[in-house]
Amino acid sequence: MNKTSSILCITLLGAFASCALAGQVNLFGAVDLGVKVQKSKGHETVVSMDSGTYAGSRWGLTGREDINNDLSVSFLLESGFDADTGASKGKLFNRGSLLRLESKTFGTLAFGRTSAFTS
């Protein structure tokens, strides 16, 4: 990891840590697990359990702190996992890690990684 990346990580972790002391921090998650039945002509029926059949299993943290009447800071940390084994899918918080500065007057400025284009 180069020096610039290290400084950026330390800055973001400091910002997330200050948000973690906020009055509103939530833990969330979803388990995406399904049963798949396959039947082909001339073959036996195969029943299997598949993880991540719709949007993938995930867990995360969100937090928000109002600085004043117009300005607030919030964060999102979201990580994927395999529901079959509980193993992490990739790096920690690979689905999303955002730091947002929100103003009623000027809008929202966000830094980080979003989980999907539609996010």
Q: What is the pLDDT of residues 57-111, one digit of tens each?
A: 888 999 998 888 889 999 999 988 888 787 888 888 888 889 999 998 889 998 8
How high is the pLDDT of residue 52? 73
How high is the pLDDT of residue 6? 59
How high is the pLDDT of residue 101? 92
Stretch 25-50: mean pLDDT: 87
Residue 55: which residues within 8 A CB-CB, separation 6 or more?
30, 32
Q: What is the percent of the chain where pLDDT is above 70?
A: 76
Sequence spans of domains, the chain: 3-113
Q: Give me Rg for the CA atoms of the chain.
A: 19
Stretch 1-8: mean pLDDT: 59
Stretch 35-55: mean pLDDT: 84
Q: Give the largest Cα separation in the chain, rounded.
A: 69
